[in-house]
C-alpha cells in the first residue's frame, strides 16, 4: 500500500458514506445528529442562500435598466465636456457614435487601431461641435 | 445560474441531497483523522478543519456553484458536483491548517482560488524515512482498529464479514455479491453497524477505540 492509498478505517467510513441511499430522511437526520449536525437549521440556511440568489437574478433586469437610464441621462446632459466624464460613459457614448455612423464609420475607426478613452472623448467633442455648427447653418 | 443546476435545486429531493452532501463532507474530514489529522470540534460537537465544519464546506460549495465560481457539470448528479467541490475545499483547508504560522515561501492560488503552496503540492520522489514510519504507524493503527471492531462482533459472522468487506473498499453491490445476500440485507447491516458508530466515529487512534470498547461507551 502506498501513502496515498486509503487504509482500512478510511475505507470503512467511505463505504458507510456510499450506502447513504438506503437511509430514509429520518434515519439520515439521526445519523447527522450523531455527528453533531443539526440538518434542519442548515437546510434553512441553504434555502436562504438560494432564495437570495434567485431574487438577485430576478432583479437583474432592473439593474440593467438603471444603467442604461443613467447613460442616457449623461449623454443628454449638456454643458459637460466629454473629457471630464467617467470612462464608462465615454465608452458607451462612443459605441453609440460608431453605431449611428453606420458600417463606414465603424470601419474607419477600426482601421485607426486601438483608441484611448481620451481619444474617444476628443472625437465625441469634435463630433458635437460639428453637429452644432451644422444646426446653426441650417437655421 | 446553469439551467440544469437551477432545475436540480428546484427539485423536491434537493434538501435530501444537501443533507447527504453534509454527511459526505463530515466523513471526508473524519477520514483525515485516520491519516493523523487532529481536528477541533465545534460547540455542537461537529468535527472541524481549521475553523470550518462540514456545513460550512457545503454552504461554500453551493455558493460557488450558483455564482459560477465552480462550473456545474450537468452530466453528473448535484450530489456528485457538491462532493467534488467539498473534497477539494476540505483538502485545501486541511493543508492550510497543517501549516502553523510561519510560511517561508510565496503563497499561490490554484485556478479555483484555493491556496496552493509549492511544498505540499510538490511531487515527491520518495517518502522521507520519518514520513514512511509515520504512515506505517497510522496504517497499523487502522488495521488494529478494524481487528478490534471485528472482534467486538464475535459470534456475528455476517457483521464481521461485512466490516472486513468495507475495510478493503468493497461497495454495496460487491458486498451483496461477495456475501451472497440481498442489497437490503447489506443496508440492514449498515444500520446495525452505525448504531454502534459512537464507538469508532471520532476516535483518533487504536488505544482510544480500545478504551471505548472496554468502557462499553
Same domain, A54 and A71: no
How far lies A136's CA from each of A3, A75, A101, A129, B211, in Å?
85, 21, 21, 11, 99
How far lies B141's CA from each of A85, B146, B168, B184, in Å?
70, 9, 15, 31
Question: What was the pLDDT predicted at B120?
Answer: 63
Output the nine-digit C-alpha cell for B18.
444537501
Same domain, B98 and B159: no
- Higher pLDDT: A5 or A50? It is A50
Same domain, A73 and A113: yes
List Cβ neighbours of B54 (8 Å cut-off, separation of 6 or more): A35, A37, B22, B23, B25, B26, B28, B29, B46, B47, B86
Of A36, A26, A42, A6, the residue nearest B198 (C-alpha): A36
Half-sphere exposure of B29 (CA within 13 A, CB side): 31
**Total domain count, chain B:** 2
Same domain, A44 and A73: no
Query: Where does the pLDDT of residue B208 fall: very low under 50, low under 70, confident under 90, or very high at 90 and above?
Result: confident
Instruction: For chain B, say whether A3 makes contact (Cβ under 8 Å).
Output: yes
Question: What was the pLDDT predicted at A1?
Answer: 46
Output the nine-digit C-alpha cell for B93.
483547508
> Looking at the domain assignment, is residue A16 inside a domain?
yes
Contacts with A, B 123-182, CB within 8 Å? 127, 131-132, 135, 138-139, 142-143, 145-146, 149, 163, 165-172
Within 10 angstroms of residue A26's Cβ, the number of other Cβ atoms is: 8
List Cβ neighbours of A40 (8 Å cut-off, separation of 6 or more): A29
**Total domain count, chain A:** 2
B169 and A6: CB-CB below 8 Å? yes
Pick the range with the lowest mean pLDDT from B17-21, B41-45, B129-133, B144-148: B129-133
> In the predicted model, what is the mean pLDDT of residues A105-113?
79
Residues B126-178 have pLDDT tens digits of 777 787 888 888 888 889 888 988 988 889 999 999 999 999 999 999 999 99
Question: What was the pLDDT predicted at A79?
Answer: 62
Residue B103 has pLDDT above 60, yes or no: no
Do the beta carbons of residue A40 and residue B51 sit within 8 Å?
Answer: no
> In the predicted model, what is the mean pLDDT of residues A122-139?
84
**How far is the alpha carbon of A41 from chain B, nearest alpha carbon, in Å?**
10
Query: Where does the pLDDT of residue B100 fall: very low under 50, low under 70, confident under 90, or very high at 90 and above?
Result: low
A53 and B1: CB-CB below 8 Å? yes
Best of A2, A7, A33, A52 to mutate (most B CBs within 10 Å, chain B): A7
User: Considering CB atoms only, which of B30, B47, B194 is closest to A31?
Assistant: B194
Residues spanned by the domain of A17 = 8-58
Q: What phi, psi does B109 have (nearest 5°)? A: -120, 145
What ipTM was assigned to the predicted interfaces of this complex?
0.78
Pick the range with the lowest mean pLDDT from A55-59, B27-31, B52-56, B103-107: B103-107
Residue A3 has pLDDT above 70, yes or no: no
User: Considering CB atoms only, which of A29, A36, A53 is closest to B45?
Assistant: A36
List Cβ neighbours of B52 (8 Å cut-off, separation of 6 or more): B93
> Looking at the domain assignment, is residue B123 inside a domain?
no
Mean pLDDT score of chain A, rounded to an integer? 84
Residues spanned by the domain of B210 = 129-215
**How far is the alpha carbon of A69 from chain B, nearest alpha carbon, in Å?**
26
Question: What was the pLDDT predicted at B27?
Answer: 92
pTM, full prediction: 0.69
> Looking at the domain assignment, is residue A46 inside a domain?
yes
Question: What was the pLDDT predicted at A2?
Answer: 53
Residue B104 has pLDDT above 60, yes or no: no
Last residue of a domain, one of B87, B116, B145: B116
Mean pLDDT score of chain B, rounded to an integer? 84
Same domain, A68 and A112: yes
Residue B63 has pLDDT above 90, yes or no: yes
Best of B27, B42, B175 to mutate (most A CBs within 10 Å, chain A): B27
Of A40, A12, A13, the residue nearest A26 (C-alpha): A40
Amino acid at each position: 500500500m502506498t501513502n496515498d492509498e486509503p487504509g482500512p478505517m478510511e475505507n470503512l467510513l467511505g463505504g458507510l458514506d456510499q450506502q447513504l441511499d438506503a437511509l430514509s430522511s429520518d434515519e439520515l437526520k439521526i445519523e447527522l445528529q450523531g455527528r453533531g449536525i443539526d440538518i434542519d437549521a442548515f437546510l434553512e440556511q441553504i434555502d436562504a442562500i438560494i432564495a437570495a440568489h434567485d431574487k438577485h437574478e430576478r432583479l437583474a433586469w432592473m439593474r440593467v435598466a438603471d444603467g442604461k437610464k443613467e447613460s442616457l441621462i449623461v449623454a443628454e446632459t449638456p454643458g459637460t465636456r466629454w473629457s471630464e466624464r467617467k470612462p464608462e460613459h465615454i465608452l458607451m457614448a462612443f459605441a453609440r457614435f460608431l453605431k449611428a455612423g453606420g458600417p463606414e464609420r465603424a470601419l474607419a475607426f477600426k482601421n485607426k487601431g486601438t483608441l484611448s478613452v481620451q481619444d474617444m472623448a476628443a472625437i465625441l467633442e469634435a463630433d458635437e461641435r460639428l453637429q452644432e455648427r451644422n444646426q446653426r447653418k441650417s437655421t | 445560474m446553469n439551467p440544469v443546476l437551477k432545475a436540480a435545486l428546484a427539485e423536491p429531493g434537493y434538501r435530501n441531497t444537501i443533507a447527504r452532501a453534509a454527511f459526505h463532507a463530515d466523513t471526508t474530514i473524519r477520514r483525515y483523522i485516520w491519516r493523523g489529522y487532529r481536528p477541533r470540534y465545534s460547540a455542537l460537537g461537529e468535527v472541524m478543519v481549521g475553523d470550518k465544519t462540514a456545513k460550512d464546506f457545503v454552504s461554500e460549495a453551493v455558493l460557488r456553484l450558483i455564482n459560477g465560481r465552480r462550473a456545474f457539470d450537468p452530466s453528473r448528479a448535484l450530489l456528485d458536483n457538491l462532493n467534488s467541490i467539498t473534497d477539494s475545499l476540505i483538502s485545501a483547508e486541511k493543508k492550510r491548517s497543517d501549516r502553523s504560522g510561519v510560511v517561508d515561501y510565496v503563497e499561490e492560488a490554484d485556478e479555483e482560488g484555493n491556496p496552493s503552496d509549492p511544498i505540499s503540492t510538490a511531487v515527491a520522489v520518495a517518502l522521507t524515512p520519518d514520513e514512511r514510519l509515520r504512515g506505517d504507524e497510522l496504517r497499523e493503527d487502522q488495521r488494529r482498529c478494524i481487528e478490534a471492531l471485528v472482534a467486538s462482533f464475535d459470534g456475528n459472522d455476517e457483521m464481521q464479514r461485512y466490516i472486513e468487506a468495507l475495510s478493503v473498499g468493497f461497495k454495496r453491490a460487491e458486498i451483496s455479491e461477495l456475501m451472497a445476500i440481498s442489497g437490503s440485507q447489506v443496508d440492514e447491516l449498515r444500520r446495525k453497524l452505525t448504531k454502534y458508530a459512537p464507538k469508532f466515529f471520532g476516535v483518533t487512534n487504536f488505544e482510544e477505540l480500545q478504551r471505548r470498547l472496554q468502557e462499553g461507551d
